[in-house]
Amino acid sequence: MADYKLMKGNEAIAEAAIRCGCDAYFGYPITPQSEVLETLMARKPWDETGMIVLQAESEVAAINMVYGGAGCGKKVMTSSSSPGISLKQEGISYIAGAELPCLIVNVVRGGPGLGTIQPAQSDYFQSVKGGGHGDYRLIVLAPASVQEMYDFVNLGFELAFKYRNPALILSDGVIGQMMEKVQLGSYKPRLTNEEIVARYGSWATTGKTHDRPRNIITSLDLDPYRQEQFNLKLQKKYREIEEKEVRFEKIACDDAEYLLVAYGSASRICQKAVDLAREKGIKVGLLRPITLFPYPTKAIREMLGQVKGILAVEMSAGQMVEDVRLAVDGKVKVEHFGRMGGVIATPNEVVAALEEKIIKG
């Protein structure tokens, strides 16, 4: 029998972590995601599954705890919001450079700087194009509902371990704070230390035994030629992820003459905008990227023979629109519409922008 619960997006992250067999969560309070840590602390998963929850002294420490936990083969995660995620970039770069699996959740708020505590989507570049130093990519998942907040915890861990790469859930204050019905999954047991040795003993620091060389978790190689080879290996992995892991959703696209592209909470606004536009006789569809890296470039490209123009809708000054333009390569008109600083666009504003910027313009 399905187990349903009404919960906040942030609570769903916490519940999913416990149920998917997560070994540890390391966090630090910041609005609008503090409920993740609060929910975990209240739930006391250490009594239930043995999962460890620790409030770190800073976001920097929290991500480095993730780095330590991931290096010894455990399923570990952290969450924060934009300013905190900026602080975590050093650790994220090290984790990517050491090829370790972990899950990071960003419940985005408006920036730059301390910005605001209201929702925004202005961390797209940081999430998808790098964020920290060096050539690396995160696997980026963009939930548009509380159910997806829940589901993407497990999916994020699966992808992270499959590719030994950090995965990021790029959410925002809307999805983190709103309440929806969530279908909860069954409890997956945490791996035992023996299972971890069997699965990840070739690289994880589980303690050096006589039957294997010592395992070293590092992102350092002072030999430039070896470091270049390592970078080429990373790039090969990212190309494989682009080949196999693209996820997206198409809504009302079959007969669409115009296309909205939006992810996360903006996609929910766009869903309503599609309905409003169609009531006015405008045949518009919505393409919702679920993975932001890898980006659904091909899916957008496949729409090109069909649509006359594309509007990218984001709660930012226009970040994802650059990836839409790369996919479109100048073949149709691409414009951006967005509100910023924590302001959420209305469906009517989206329709008006579509008419103004794409249909008339």
Q: Which residues bind another protein (CB under 8 A)?
A: 23-24, 26, 52, 54, 56-58, 60-62, 64-69, 71-72, 74, 76, 90-91, 94, 98, 193, 205-210, 214-220
**Nearest residue (CB) to another protein, 129 versus 208:** 208
Considering the complex, what minimum distance in angstroms separates the CB of residue 223 from another protein? 12
Residue 252's contacts (CB-CB under 8 Å, 6 or more residues apart) are 274, 278, 284, 285, 286
Other C-beta atoms lying within 10 Å of the C-beta of residue 267 = 24
Helix runs in 9-145, H state only: 9-19, 34-43, 45-48, 59-71, 82-97, 124-128
Other C-beta atoms lying within 10 Å of the C-beta of residue 293 = 22
Look-up of token digits 């590719």: 163
For 244, list phi and psi in degrees, rounded to 5: -110, -20
Considering the complex, what minimum distance in angstroms separates the CB of residue 123 from another protein? 21
Considering the complex, what minimum distance in angstroms separates the CB of residue 187 from another protein? 19
**Nearest residue (CB) to another protein, 214 versus 360:** 214
Q: Are 10 and 33 in contact (CB under 8 A)?
A: yes
Question: Measured in Å, how far apart are the chain's first and last C-alpha atoms?
Answer: 53
**Calpha distance 179→118 (Å, rounded):** 16
For 269, list phi and psi in degrees, rounded to 5: -65, -40
**Nearest residue (CB) to another protein, 133 versus 244:** 133
Considering the complex, what minimum distance in angstroms separates the CB of residue 26 from another protein? 7
Six-digit token string for 13: 């992250």
**Nearest residue (CB) to another protein, 208 versus 236:** 208
What b-and-e string marks burial along 217-232, b requiring 16 or more CB atoms within 10 Å of the CB?
Answer: bebeeeeeeeeeeeee
Q: Are 337 and 311 in contact (CB under 8 A)?
A: yes
Q: Are 191 and 313 in contact (CB under 8 A)?
A: no
**Nearest residue (CB) to another protein, 61 versus 343:** 61
**Calpha distance 17→348 (Å, rounded):** 37
Considering the complex, what minimum distance in angstroms separates the CB of residue 112 from another protein? 24
Considering the complex, what minimum distance in angstroms separates the CB of residue 138 from another protein? 17
Q: Where does residue 349 rank: exposed (0-12), middle (13-18), buried (19+ CB within 10 A)?
A: middle
Considering the complex, what minimum distance in angstroms separates the CB of residue 86 from another protein? 15
**Nearest residue (CB) to another protein, 65 versus 292:** 65
Between the CA atoms of 325, 267, 277 and 327, what dihedral angle is there, to the nearest 10 degrees? 20
**Nearest residue (CB) to another protein, 52 versus 178:** 52
**Nearest residue (CB) to another protein, 17 versus 321:** 17
Considering the complex, what minimum distance in angstroms separates the CB of residue 182 from another protein? 28
Considering the complex, what minimum distance in angstroms separates the CB of residue 97 from another protein? 10
**Nearest residue (CB) to another protein, 64 versus 145:** 64
The answer to whether the peptide bond before residue 294 is cis (omega within 30 degrees of 0) is: yes
**Nearest residue (CB) to another protein, 186 versus 218:** 218
Considering the complex, what minimum distance in angstroms separates the CB of residue 231 from another protein? 17
